[in-house]
């Protein structure tokens, strides 16, 4: 007869919950692997959070010039390509 499965202790349950929140499971070479989750701020990826909340001065100070046009379009609306 098979041995009955034992219950997890509260410490083991807490460790399992922390591990599940900190990692996600992906498939690599046909096998499941546990990898760290990408960082997020308020549920948004970091790059998207910065684009939504940064002003053009902060973007310039942090050398994110490619994002300045997108930030300006959000504030002032899309520019007319003819001008």
Q: Residue 34 forms beta bridges with which residues? A: 25
Q: Residue 35 forms beta bridges with which residues? A: 24
Report residue 83's pLDDT band, with 50, 70 and 90 as the boundaries: low
Domain ranges of the chain: 12-76
What is the rounded average pLDDT of the residues 53-67? 82
Alpha-carbon distance of 79 to 63, in angstroms, equals 22
Report residue 62's pLDDT band, with 50, 70 and 90 as the boundaries: confident
Q: Which residues of 29-39 are buried (b: 16+ CB within 10 A; e: fewer)?
A: eeeeeeeeeee
Highest-pLDDT range among 14-18, 69-73, 75-79: 14-18
Residue range 5-54, pLDDT digits in tens = 999 999 999 999 999 999 999 999 999 999 999 998 888 888 888 888 88
């Amino acid at each position: 007869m098979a041995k009955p499965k034992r219950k997890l202790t509260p410490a083991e349950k807490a460790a399992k919950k922390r591990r599940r929140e900190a990692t996600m499971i992906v498939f690599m070479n046909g096998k499941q692997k546990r990898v760290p989750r990408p960082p997020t701020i308020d549920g948004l990826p970091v790059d998207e959070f910065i684009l939504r909340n940064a002003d053009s001065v902060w973007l310039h100070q942090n050398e994110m010039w490619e994002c300045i046009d997108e930030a300006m379009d959000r504030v002032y609306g899309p520019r007319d390509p003819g001008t």
